[in-house]
Structure 1
């Protein structure tokens, strides 16, 4: 009996002693997460927050109080220019790597992988968590390699072991998790002992994208409600992060903007599909065409050109919208682009929208020359200037900015350039 009492007592002591580390429900990379090196302990902190689908003009239009104060005391770009196509997965991963989609490989929310002979889809958890789809060196990989602890409460790529590396703490995506729980976890991470405390944290909120898709970007009532609810969560984060007394720099971005679409201008993707001639990968504002083996490519091109109606067909290398000549084979041989204000969807979805009397939705993915596609870049913290504005900025440049703040090595393979964004930093950081 005495032996049992002693054993139970030891177990109780162990549980009490380890309680702070059990507070987080986060996944931990391996059994031994990264411990901050002596050099990392001296570095500041960066929280990178993505507000999916947050259009460049929402703050000025609706004046959310906490975000407005954050911006007025920090820096902002007129807009953040996404990479083409202006879709969620390609642009989140561009922000994470400093690379255009053509180079990092996540070229769409769906795409055909010539190497794997499968179609990647963001709804397939096995693929989303397969690190072999993801190229480049995401910012958390750079941090972990430098023996700097990183954490992620959702960000494209953070759930996958990329080159065998995940953030020290990470969460498997679940859109049902309330924003406040995400904020609380981040503050808990910042409260960890110094050696285990992440100096890089990424976060993700989908509120504005969800609302924009459902109601379109001109429904002031619904957008303002969603924005002010989100603003309260961000206000809590700002306040509690400041209360830690740590040198925390917060960078707020979005992956793309949003434009209004009449559901009468949706084009059935089935109207151009031909399974005997080619594989069709539809991303709404861009459709990748992969001719089948032994099928004459000119015949495919002619077939599609004859069908043009509110869309145009291009050879991939001649497709407008790209900031470079696309070379990644996963794009396919041809691209089909709907005219701005038109969008490809399935007959089933189009019928459902009409049956429910939905006449307007929000979409994105178009050429980034369309200002509606632009997102946001705001930043605040000890590294940043106060009340400072810059012109519109490409999202490839955010990666080297974070590297500079955390004094991480900037890979020479990225597309982003520090000199395109470092004017936002105080001279002591440059």
Structure 2
């Protein structure tokens, strides 16, 4: 989860909003058990390594991940949806839908339907299932009487369609990785009726380091990666020891780009509370004109300010693979040039006080390769030693559905045909 609190500065104090108390959800007031049909199905563990750029494994050769990939499948990279931010892309992976359609269009955005601002640091909005459209994979599983579990994943804390995973935790990034790994193994050791066939997990280590030091700081990245790799190795070994038909899918929500502090743009320079509301997501700024203020007048006003950024009417904004029509985007978008990033004056000043001068950011057009993440998979459902070209993250959902024997919704943007070559039995 790219809880801004996980990033340096931008999310100062967010952890104060999060409880560390684990919560077990009882769906519809009744403890769910696996149906007889579900008990016969394979298992899927979906692991998100937040901010894990496509080239990190090749660069640093973490032993457990290298072995995992060698005996499984990998894509050259995983292509995020635009904007390449955490909340939109985690929920895209979970639903197979573009942000335009699943509704979580940014880490922060304004919902016209609810007349409310969604912020990833606001516990009330994060847990409000009415913000989340589509049918995330855990909801699909629970509807089919298949037990699911989550140790953090965007959306799992919300009552989407009135449903949570059977077991889930409220986000608390202070919980150690070894605790998360052990919980997953404990879930897999439950009696067959209570054992989750879908487990989602989240690790922010590489994102935290990437933001703090940038994706070119080999020393810091390698140190973080090898510590994470050790915990993943413990999980891999525990899964093997269980003897269960478990398939592990490892993904990331986006990559990371180096940005020197000199190229941060003060968001205050384009704010005008009399004309419009500004919602800043760093690499994209949503502009919502005030009542009785025309789009053209705002466009003209902002166009005169262009310097290291560009102004677009929403339907003409580059980066989208479709013409954006969701009203929540706002009518105008401000995009910094690649290599620049919007922040507050306060955030910029805090960065200037650091010993180093380069930081990591993301959110740009996915055509930029440094925004790409990872897709690795291993288990009985997958081929061995198999490489595919870069794949869009919208296609992961139908693969998970196929493995778990769940119906693939007709309204998703993902297509099983785009990725089913990774499966042992693609037909």
Q: Which runs of 5+ in 1 are unaligned?
A: 1-23
Give the total of aligned pairs.
406
Deviation, structure 1 residue 266: 0.5
Counterpart position of 1:243: 241
DSSP-derived class of the 1:28 partner: coil
Aligned counterpart for 1:410 among listed residues 408, 411, 414: 408
Deviation, structure 1 residue 355: 2.6
What is the distance in 1 between the residues matched to 2:385 and 2:397?
22
Instruction: Indicate if the aligned counterparts of 1:94 and 1:104 stay in contact, CA closer than 8 A.
Output: yes
Instruction: Indicate if the aligned counterparts of 2:284 and 2:334 stay in contact, CA closer than 8 A.
Output: yes
Counterpart position of 1:228: 226
Query: Normalising to structure 2: TM-score of the pair?
Result: 0.94
What is the distance in 2 between the residues matched to 1:301 and 1:366?
21
**1:28-107 to 2 correspondences below 5 Å:** 28-30=25-27, 31-107=29-105
Question: Any idea what the Cα deviations from partners look like across 1:37-80, whole Å, max 9, x if unmatched?
Answer: 11101100000000000000000000000000000000000000
Aligned counterpart for 1:178 among listed residues 176, 186, 190: 176
Counterpart position of 2:164: 166
Counterpart position of 1:202: 200
Instruction: Indicate if the aligned counterparts of 2:109 and 2:328 stay in contact, CA closer than 8 A.
Output: yes
Instruction: Indicate if the aligned counterparts of 1:93 and 1:106 stay in contact, CA closer than 8 A.
Output: yes
Larger Rg: 1
Q: Which runs of 5+ in 2 are unaligned?
A: 1-20
What is the distance in 2 between the residues matched to 1:167 and 1:134?
15
Aligned counterpart for 1:27 among listed residues 15, 24, 27: 24
Deviation, structure 1 residue 354: 1.2
Question: Any idea what the Cα deviations from partners look like across 1:163-186, whole Å, max 9, x if unmatched?
Answer: 100100000000000000000000
Does residue 1:326 correspond to 2:358, yes or no?
no
What is the distance in 2 between the residues matched to 1:49 and 1:41?
22
DSSP-derived class of the 1:194 partner: coil
Instruction: Indicate if the aligned counterparts of 1:72 and 1:386 stay in contact, CA closer than 8 A.
Output: yes
DSSP-derived class of the 2:193 partner: helix
Deviation, structure 1 residue 225: 0.4
What is the distance in 1 between the residues matched to 2:376 and 2:354?
38
Counterpart position of 1:349: 347
Counterpart position of 1:400: 398
**1:168-317 to 2 correspondences below 5 Å:** 168-317=166-315
Instruction: Indicate if the aligned counterparts of 1:66 and 1:234 stay in contact, CA closer than 8 A.
Output: yes
What is the distance in 2 between the residues matched to 1:27 and 1:129?
14
Question: Any idea what the Cα deviations from partners look like across 1:78-125, whole Å, max 9, x if unmatched?
Answer: 000000000000000000000000000000000011112221100001
Deviation, structure 1 residue 27: 1.5
What is the distance in 1 between the residues matched to 2:215 and 2:182?
30
Instruction: Indicate if the aligned counterparts of 1:263 and 1:358 stay in contact, CA closer than 8 A.
Output: no
Query: Normalising to structure 1: TM-score of the pair?
Result: 0.93
Deviation, structure 1 residue 28: 2.9
Counterpart position of 1:127: 125
What is the distance in 1 between the residues matched to 2:86 and 2:382?
27
